[in-house]
Every structure is written in structure tokens, then in C-alpha cells.
């Protein structure tokens, strides 16, 4: 069983996808971490995220097991990730890994939960359940601001909102695999939902679908 969770920056996809994976005993893949991993590799070497040749090389050489989970969570890496994610060769280079993870989840898990931008549309168009998780830009910026602040970031809430909106624009307007709900996705607006309520709604959708 494959559960696809897509949506814009800081909509609560990761928290929800992780909770669903734990609930069902499925494997979880944060596909944004792959794009962040590519971006981080470039920034570490002092290269511009817009350098297409370097970005492709970094994507081809990416070892998902070696991605630093803390270093990739900065606003700078998130922004750079959405720049490399516009490049079709970069997307193509990490597509097979994502599809293989979904088809053959690690540790013998009976299913997989993948979160990202194009899971329901491109990576796993045949996913059993597709959730499109969203929230207002202000709510998303507030959540991301608190997350970054806890990690020591000096960015103001207004700066984080501007960053989130710039990233949304880049993600929805790109030609290849733009952020958009799959036609058969279930929409879940978490603007006014606690984590627990959003999780409960997602489980209801999944159980209704499974009959
Ligand atoms: O956690 P957050 O929602 O801020 O972003 P993320 O899921 O870590 O993704 C970082 C960036 O990677 C996004 O802004 C997208 O540009 C890109 N991405 C993508 O293009 N396709 C995916 N399946 C996942 C992420």
C-alpha cells in the first residue's frame, strides 16, 4: 500500500506522513530531504544552487543514507532546494530511488508513505491514497518560524512568510512536476486543525477508502 502526501511548504505534511507511517507500520520517505540533500551538497562546496551541471552531478552522486538531517533543515537550504528542484535532470536523477522505495519499502514494511510535491502526480500516480495537505500561507509561515527559531535561526516571522511564498511560487509555476493536487487527491486543510485532528481526519479518509 502506498500513501502519497503532497502539499506546499510547512503545511504539516512531514508530521502527518510520519504519524501515518508509524500508525500503519509503513516505511516513510521525506522526498524533500533528497532535494535538500542536493542543495546542501552544492552550498557546502560554495557552489550556486542555480549551477545546473553541478546540481546534476550532486543529484547523481546523492547517497540518501548520508544526508545530514539537521544541516538540511535551514531556510537557506530549503530555498536552494526549490531552485535545484526546478531542473528536470535533477528530478529525473532521483526519481528511480523514490519509486523503488515505494515499490520495495525497506525492512519488509507492507507499505510506504512518501511526502513531497509530486508524489501523487508523478512519482506514484497509482498510489492507493493521495492526500493533499495545505494551510494558509500565514499559518504555514508561523509554524515554520517557530521550527526555525527553535533551531536557532535569527529570521523574523515576516522573512519566513516571504520565503514560504517565494518557494510556493517557484514550486507551483515550474514546468516539470509542479506542485498541484492530483485529480484523485483528498484535500486536507490544516489551517485550523491540531496535529491530532489532522491525523484523525487522514486516518478517516484512509479507512473510508479501504472500506
Ligand atoms: O519541508 P518543506 O515543506 O519546507 O519542504 P521540503 O518538503 O523539504 O522540500 C524542499 C523543496 O524541495 C520544495 O520547496 C520543492 O521545491 C522541492 N521538492 C520537490 O520539488 N518535489 C518533492 N517531491 C519534494 C520536494
* d(C-alpha 135, C-alpha 12), whole Å: 8
| Residue-wise pLDDT tens digits, 9-48 | 999 999 999 999 999 999 999 999 999 999 999 999 999 9
From 10, 32, 167, mutation site for ligand 1 pocket: most ligand atoms within 8 A of C-beta: 32
**Across residues 109-131, what is the average pLDDT?**
98
Query: Does the CB atom of residue 137 touch ligand 1 within 6 A?
Result: no
**Across residues 193-199, what is the average pLDDT?**
95
pLDDT at 27: 98
pLDDT at 210: 81
| Residue-wise pLDDT tens digits, 56-89 | 999 999 999 999 999 999 999 999 999 999 999 9
pLDDT at 187: 97
Query: Does the CB atom of residue 78 touch ligand 1 within 6 A?
Result: yes
| Residue-wise pLDDT tens digits, 138-151 | 999 999 999 999 99
pLDDT at 141: 97
Cβ proximity of 63 and 100 under 8 Å: no
Q: Does domain 2-210 have CATH number 3.90.45.10?
A: no
pLDDT at 211: 74
* d(C-alpha 190, C-alpha 22), whole Å: 20
Residue ranges of domains in the chain: 2-210
**Across residues 197-209, what is the average pLDDT?**
96
Ligand 1 mean position, distance from CA 108 (Å): 27
* d(C-alpha 16, C-alpha 27), whole Å: 13
Cβ proximity of 94 and 41 under 8 Å: no
Query: Does the CB atom of residue 143 touch ligand 1 within 6 A?
Result: no
Amino acid at each position: 500500500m502506498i500513501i502519497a502526501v503532497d502539499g506546499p511548504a510547512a503545511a504539516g505534511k512531514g508530521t502527518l506522513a510520519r504519524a501515518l507511517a508509524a500508525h500503519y507500520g509503513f516505511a516513510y520517505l521525506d522526498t524533500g530531504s533528497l532535494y535538500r540533500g542536493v542543495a546542501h551538497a552544492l552550498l557546502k562546496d560554495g557552489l550556486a544552487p542555480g549551477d545546473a551541471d553541478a546540481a546534476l552531478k550532486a543529484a547523481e552522486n546523492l547517497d540518501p543514507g548520508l544526508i545530514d538531517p539537521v544541516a538540511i533543515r535551514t531556510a537557506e537550504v530549503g530555498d536552494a532546494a526549490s531552485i535545484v528542484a526546478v531542473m528536470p535532470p535533477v528530478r529525473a536523477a532521483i526519481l528511480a530511488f523514490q519509486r523503488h522505495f515505494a515499490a520495495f519499502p525497506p525492512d519488509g514494511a507492507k507499505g510506504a508513505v512518501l511526502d513531497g510535491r509530486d508524489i501523487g502526480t508523478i512519482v506514484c500516480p497509482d498510489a492507493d491514497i493521495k492526500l493533499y495537505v495545505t494551510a494558509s500561507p500565514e499559518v504555514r509561515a508561523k509554524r515554520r518560524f517557530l521550527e526555525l527559531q527553535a533551531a536557532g535561526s535569527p529570521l523574523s516571522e515576516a522573512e519566513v512568510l516571504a520565503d514560504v511564498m517565494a518557494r510556493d511560487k517557484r514550486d507551483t509555476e515550474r514546468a516539470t512536476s509542479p506542485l498541484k493536487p492530483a485529480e484523485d487527491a483528498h484535500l486536507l486543510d490544516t489551517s485550523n486543525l491540531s496535529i491530532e485532528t489532522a491525523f484523525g481526519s487522514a486516518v478517516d479518509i484512509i479507512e473510508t477508502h479501504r472500506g
